[in-house]
Amino acid sequence: MKHILMIATGGTIASKETEEGLAPALTSRELLDCVPEIGAVCSVDAVQPFNLDSTNVYAAHWLQIARLIEENYAAYDGFVVTHGTDTMAYTAAALSYLIQNSAKPIVLTGSQRSAYSRDTDARRNLADAFLFCADDRAYGVRIVFDGSVILGTRAKKTRTRSFNAFSSIDFPAVAVMREGVPFYYIEGGKPTSPPVFYHTLNENVFVLKLIPGMRADIFDWLDAHCDGLVIESFGMGGLPDYGDGAFSARLAHFLSLGKTAVLTTQVEREGSALDKYAVGRRLRACGRVLEARCMTLEAAVTKLMWILAFARGEQAETLFDTPVERDIF
């Protein structure tokens, strides 16, 4: 029987109705009481490092979760993290970079409705998460939600209300859960060498979402406060010109300060292709701008935070272009 550690962090799955609206309140034990059937396949211990709406979860919490997993890695066969859906994809991506080469499964799940709601999806998602985590073929960071098993680096929340809240972007789901049994689309690849844990992130990363007519003097603030910049451009990617070349000049100056910039697209699927149009090729003249290609925004942001914690320049560029858990290709 597998021995699994549950890390409860709050979210809708743990929420109760209050005078101010839904807010996390359920304990890890109360959540486990919702799925007594998992006792037939695994034994579970639980910890609750925090109990937050995931809107309030950020890098310090990702590091806290990673540290808990590292401290308990030898004692357990896998880990289930219950989490709010709003930033779950960020946490899953961050954990994919903070904990690499894990032969043990690290499964994130949550729900669109509270575990105490009559029509909740919490019981199914929680049960599926534990049943997948107990499977001998499971490994690495995964999101299990509404029957889908998604790589931590490929997941995105694409619906705010529906039970099928998460999609796997530009990559197949790893598996589907059918009556508690995982049916795999992608098998193999389980690591045989020890996991690698990282302990720092550089939070000075900013996402700049372009809108038509945006002024280039936004770089006054970016130059002073950011080590890394993710630019969400239009379509396949590029920088606006507006007749004065100000955006290109300011980006070139940003890069000259030893900072790192990544170009991605606002379009959810199919990624960027900077060399397709003149507006993209012109960006190349600004300096070494990295291209996220098919990466999710969540993966691009957290990968840049991970890299800039210990690398700059050519080393950072090489690391960004090196695939981790099929995040870029």
Q: State both tokens at 311.
A: 């690398």
Rounded to whole angstroms, the Cα distance separating 66 from 255 reads 31
What digits encode the pLDDT tens for the residues 116-125?
A: 888 899 999 9
CATH number at residue 22: 3.40.50.1170
Q: Examine the domain organization and report whether 40 and 176 are in the same domain.
A: yes
Q: DSSP strand E in 210-327: where?
A: 228-233, 260-265, 290-291
Q: Is residue 326 part of a domain?
A: no
Q: How far apart are CA 314 and CA 106, in angstroms?
A: 31
The residue to which tokens 């840049």 are assigned: 304
d(CA 255, CA 157) in angstroms, rounded, equals: 31
Q: Is-contact 127 180, C-beta < 8 A?
A: yes
What CATH code is carried by the domain that includes residue 283?
A: 3.40.50.40
Distance CA 95, CA 92 (A): 5
- Higher pLDDT: 199 or 16? It is 199
Lowest-pLDDT range, 74-83, 126-135, 283-292? 283-292
Percent of all residues in the chain with a pLDDT value above 90, rounded to a whole number: 83
Within a domain: 298: yes
Per-residue pLDDT, 10 = 94
List the single range of 23-32, 91-100, 134-143, 180-189 with lowest mean pLDDT.
23-32
Q: Is the pLDDT of residue 285 over 80?
A: no
20 confidence band (pLDDT: 50, 70, 90): confident
Percentage of residues in the chain with pLDDT exceeding 70? Answer: 100
**Mean predicted lDDT score pLDDT of the chain:** 94
Domain extent, residue 167, equals: 2-197
Band of residue 279 on the pLDDT scale cut at 50, 70, 90:
confident
- Six-digit token pair at 247? 């955006």
Active-site hit among 12, 82, 120, 260: 12
Catalytic residue status for 12? yes
Handedness of CA 167, 171, 174, 179 (dihedral sign): positive
Indicate whether 255 and 214 sit together in one domain: yes
The total number of structural domains in the chain stands at 2
Q: Are residues 217 and 234 in the same domain?
A: yes
Q: Tell me whether strands 42-47 and 2-8 are parallel, antiparallel or unpaired.
A: parallel
> Would residue 307 count as lying in a domain?
yes
Strands 155-157 vs 181-184: parallel, antiparallel or unpaired: unpaired
Q: What is the pLDDT of residues 221-254, one digit of tens each?
A: 999 999 999 999 999 988 888 888 899 999 999 9
Interatomic CA distance for residues 124 and 55, integer angstroms: 23
- Measured in degrees and rounded to the nearest 5, phi and psi for residue 311 equal -140, 155
Instruction: Give the pLDDT band (50/70/90) at residue 304.
Output: very high
Give per-residue pLDDT as tens, 40-89.
Answer: 999 999 999 999 999 999 999 999 999 999 999 999 999 999 999 999 99
Residue 329 covered by a domain: no
Under 8 Å between Cβ of 11 and 53: yes
Query: How far is the C-alpha of 53 from the C-alpha of 9, rounded, in Å?
Result: 8
Q: Distance between CA 211 and CA 156 in Å, rounded?
A: 22
Kindly report the pTM of this predicted structure.
0.96
- 219 shares its domain with 188: no
Q: pLDDT band for position 280 (50/70/90)?
A: confident
Residue 224, helix vs strand vs coil: helix
pLDDT attached to residue 156: 98
Q: Which of 129, 93, 94, 91 is nearest to 110 (CA)?
A: 129
Q: Are residues 209 and 173 in the same domain?
A: no
**Residues 82 and 52 reside in one and the same domain:** yes
What is the DSSP code (8-state) at residue 216? G
User: What's the pLDDT band for 174 if we cut at 50, 70, 90?
Assistant: very high
